Amino acid sequence: MTHPDFHDCWFLTGPTASGKTVVGLALARRIGAEIVSMDSMALYRGMDIGTAKPTPDERREVPHHLVDVLDPHEEFSLAQYVDAAAEAARDIRRRGRAVLFVGGTPLYLKALLRGIFDGPAADWPLRRRLLDEAASNGPNMLHQRLAQVDPQAAERLHPNDLRRIIRAIEVHKKTGQPISRLQEQFDHAHPANQCRVFVLSWPRETLYERINGRVCQMFDAGLVDEVRRLLANPRGLSRTASQAMGYREVIEFLQRGGHVAKTIELVQVHTRQFAKRQGTWFRGLSECRFVAADEPIDVVEKIKDWGSKMGE
């Protein structure tokens, strides 16, 4: 692995609603680990229901790191996450415990495994201009512009992923080179049999049923009220926090009105689409070993056995 702080870590990932929290807690108990969150939205305090964050009881049972470390108005870069994760890993090892990363943010996983490309500093005036253009003409316009200068990056990014599309355009304008080419030097793959990276896998229809059920549970648990409280804070939400799955749709519902049932359906559709993109990311990482989560065999024991053999 690229970063020395992560060479002996365990990683449990998978698409949203795949059961990472439950399996992660059981695996942590089995291998004597503490958990480091690999979820970009679990970083934010007050964003609890929509992120399916581990409960206080679960966090008391197994220590968690990088959960509730930011206020919703703050931004947190990928480089900051990797630095914070490295410090958490060192802290855990000092106590003689194993390090288990649990979460479903593919970009975090890839950065931990292969390193990151920082690129030029942010050009905020340029970003604001591009955001204004997207607001006026729709995100597809920026996606098409990116495709002209970096078709590889455009193919990888969803047209609605404005943050990364804008970053790719920014890098090209600042360096004259496609971000996809610059990132290649940080893209050193590793075979799965050399890594403890496990992906919980479900049949598509079963996963979609789990996603639909989870979204309904979130709304029943008070997601709309949670978002209302977040919006009431004078400092507001950061661009990243406001674009979180489920939160973005509820914010639009609160601002424009409509029917809650339609909002629930929209969140379900967007979450299923997100899960599909997560799967594409995981399949593109050679380090990942897929574990059938729907089989009656004990998933935790299977992961533990595979991971232990890698350490021999």
List, as one string, the DSSP characters of 47-99: --TTTTPPPHHHHHHS-EESSS-B-TT----HHHHHHHHHHHHHHHHHTT-EE
Classify the C-alpha dihedral 238-69-307-205 as positive or negative.
negative
Q: Which two tokens stand for residue 139?
A: 């995100």
Q: What is the pLDDT of residue 1?
A: 42
Residue ending a domain, choose from 185, 214, 237 = 185
- Tell me the backbone φ, ψ of residue 288, rounded to 5 degrees: -80, 135
Same domain (yes/no): 92, 217: yes
The answer to whether residue 4 scores a pLDDT higher than 90 is no
* pLDDT at residue 270 tops 50: yes
Which pLDDT score, from 0 to 100, does residue 3 have? Answer: 64
Which residue has tokens 């809650």? Answer: 260
Q: Which residue has the higher pLDDT, 35 or 312?
A: 35
The number of distinct structural domains making up the chain is 2
pLDDT at residue 102, as a whole number: 98
Q: Give the Cβ contact number of residue 233 at 10 Å.
A: 12
- Are 130 and 169 within 8 A, CB to CB? yes
3-state secondary structure of 36: strand
- pLDDT at residue 183 greater than cutoff 70: no
pLDDT tens-digit series, residues 103-143: 999 999 999 998 876 678 788 899 999 999 989 998 899 99
Q: At 166, which CATH number?
A: 1.10.20.140
Q: Three-state DSSP class for 171? A: helix
User: Both 50 and 181 in a single domain?
Assistant: no
CB atoms within 10 A of CB 305: 10
Q: Which of 166, 185, 204 is the last residue of a domain?
A: 185
Both 221 and 109 in one domain: the answer is yes
High-pLDDT (> 70) share of the chain, % = 95
Residue that is written with structure tokens 């029943």 in the block: 220
Separation CA 55–CA 21 (nearest Å): 10
Burial label, 92 (beta-carbon count in 10 A; 0-12, 13-18, 19+):
buried
38-88: pLDDT as tens digits: 999 999 999 999 999 999 999 999 999 999 999 999 999 888 999 999 999
Q: Are residues 89 and 11 in the same domain?
A: yes
For residue 165, the surrounding DSSP H or E stretch is helix 162-175
**Domain check: are 302 and 260 in the same one?**
yes
Tell me the pLDDT tens digit for each residue of 207-219: 999 999 999 999 9
Considering the domain architecture, whether residues 101 and 144 belong to the same structural domain is answered as no
Query: Tell me, what's the pLDDT at 310?
Result: 75
112 and 162, same structural domain? no
Report the CATH number at residue 268: 3.40.50.300
Phi, psi of 52 (to 5 degrees): 50, 45
pLDDT at 170: 92
How many CB atoms sit inside 10 A of residue 261's CB? Answer: 9
Average pLDDT, the chain: 91
Residues 100, 132 share a domain: no
**Whether residue 239 is found in the same domain as residue 108:** yes
pLDDT of the residue at 138:
87
Which of 185, 209, 231 terminates a domain? The answer is 185
Backbone angles phi, psi at 64, to 5 degrees: -115, 150
Higher-confidence residue: 309 or 54?
Answer: 54
The pLDDT assigned to 175 comes to 87
- By residue range, what is the domain housing residue 203? 4-116+191-310
Listed in sequence order, the residues at least 6 apart from 36 whose beta carbon sits closer than 8 Å to its beta carbon are: 64, 65, 66, 85, 88, 89, 92, 99, 100, 101, 102
Q: Using alpha carbons, select from 103, 82, 78 the residue that is nearest to residue 164.
A: 78
Q: Do 196 and 181 belong together in one domain?
A: no
Residue 33 in this model has a pLDDT that exceeds 70: yes
Confidence of residue 188 (pLDDT cuts 50, 70, 90): low
Q: 310 or 184: whose pLDDT is higher?
A: 310
Q: Are residues 34 and 155 in the same domain?
A: no
Q: Please tell me whether residues 160 and 205 are part of one structural domain.
A: no
